Chain A
């Protein structure tokens, strides 16, 4: 899947989860940039992403994700 297409889908998920229709994210966006993005929300984001792309993250996959870019890489790898 194209990285841009993945980003667009992931942005939709972020908008839903954070209840903010104007939210714009990029590869460098990280938890520090979004107030409600804490460890709890991280889990929800990952769960929503799994569902949207029909993938299942392994324990190893979700360790050390730093920002949206890392997420995009992961989704791209698993949907390849």
Chain B
């Protein structure tokens, strides 16, 4: 059992941090990220443990450490060192210990309001100064104060510290909600989850100026690391779910659907039902639910058809109810959905099945399940699906994948693949980056791993700076067909240098592989480049663990490979503007 997995072993992590760092640093394919930690209290061990959690997510952090307690000064009056550090992430590690002026029972209500405004302004100014650095900013909210001179009244009276911290949290939440690139690390939730008596350790504060108990630091760091890895597109994307004794109690093949434990009749039934409700809500954030069960399909369907089953057949995208080994089912499921196995979380009550998936598909996350009342926590506390942005697209994702399944069914009836593509009545809509689509484009850039030639990540500020920039050609593509709207699924960025266009980015969602959309994009690019007087397009391929698929992509669309170095980085060149023939030919093109 990995001590970094739920339930995390905080004490062991603290003790073993050097060994963990050594082991995790030795792994291949780590990406370096620059993380600035601004201090509201001691950050020494926060930095050490955050490093361990980030390494576990494949990120090798380089840190900037703000001066002790100087978060405001370092951010608002940056002496240049912070800007020079050029962080990829800023983490403002503040807490209610940084509230300077609390209201007290002797104050008037008006005075309490003034204090609230003054305190909020300070934290707001620090966050806004951080945002000017042009990278994502993570800020803690406020833990509840450890004492209450008025007892319960502290929670209702505006002069109470408890009410004060809660009002401050509400204001900070509204700010984070309305501000792109600002993310809340919910310290108040963490304190509640772990318990105030454990979290708000007076000794840790008096003696070492830590805002929480040393043994709570790993939970804090796990939370921050989850936000960072989510922003880096390293979330899991799908669940492969067993059925018997996982989504319901009992064996549907033996007990029949009516004999299953599910629903409000029994305590265990309630636990299974709430787990199903949890999963259903999770799917609304864009997480794909899939069934991976050893069952006769008819029995599996009968279980889900129960009137009191929260999850129904249509909530799942891929449905594997058969007797094949689970790791094989999971692998073929991944292929079907154009996802990598490591994008999956495998949920199964049977330790033997978990073990085989763990050993056969090492990238798959396999949480330990003990009893149904613990299932939700096993997934929820792990942060597999930490949500940092929630677009309309995420909410529709399950629908889109199901449309894909319909497309796959339609494909079967054609012998010629191009005939099939033409039958889809596709329209490709192309345009330069604009404000309306910037958020979606940025999200796509940062989570696309497979069809991604350079795996360069962009912050929202960087994407915005490209809008209307004459020095670049930017292009996004949306794909609509008779089964539905796939939304914006592809983008590219080229930098103009004289008559050369250097391709800094080209990505496409795995959702629209094999639709000749990349060819339509290139047709558009050639047209735009020609208008700009470009004579030569230079393409790059930088290998990662996930983008092998596009290693030869440029060669397939008319580029010549001009170089390859030892690391496998390849350079390609395109000069075939003269007499260029559009390559797509299976969709209508719409320019916006």
Contact = CB atoms under 8 A, between A and B. Distances in A.
Interface of A: 13, 16-19, 36, 40, 43-44, 47-48, 51, 57-59, 62
B16 interface: yes
A13 B16 CA distance: 10
Contact of B45 (A44, A48, A62): A44
B424 to A, nearest CB: 57
A43 B210 CA distance: 11
A17 B19 CA distance: 9
B15 A44 contact: yes
Contacts of A48: 11, 14-15
- Majority DSSP secondary structure for residues of B touching A: helix
Contact of A51 (B11, B18, B208): B11
A19 B22 contact: yes
Given A19-B22, A43-B214, 5 more contacts: A16-B16, A47-B215, A59-B203, A59-B207, A62-B207
B180 interface: no
A47 B45 CA distance: 12
A36 B215 CA distance: 20
5 contacts: A13-B15, A19-B22, A44-B45, A48-B14, A59-B203
B44 interface: yes
A52 B44 CA distance: 23
B206 interface: yes
A44 B42 CA distance: 13
Interface of B: 11, 14-16, 18-19, 22, 44-45, 48, 203, 206-208, 210, 214-215
Contacts of B22: 19
Nearest to A43: B208
Interface-centre pick from A13, A16, A44, A47 (highest chain B CB count, 10 A): A47
A43 B45 contact: yes
A47 B207 contact: no
Contacts of A40: 44-45, 48
B284 to A, nearest CB: 41
B14 A47 contact: yes
Which of A17, A19, A36: most chain B CB closer than 10 A? A19
A22 B34 CA distance: 34
B44 to A, nearest CB: 4
A19 B18 CA distance: 6
A51 B213 CA distance: 13
A57 B201 CA distance: 12
A44 B214 contact: yes
Contacts of B206: 59
Return the 6 tightest CB-CB contacts between A and B, nearest first.
A19-B18, A40-B44, A19-B19, A16-B15, A47-B214, A43-B208
B17 to A, nearest CB: 8
Contacts of B19: 16, 19
A63 B293 CA distance: 59
A4 to B, nearest CB: 22
Contacts of B214: 43-44, 47
B66 to A, nearest CB: 16
A17 B18 CA distance: 7
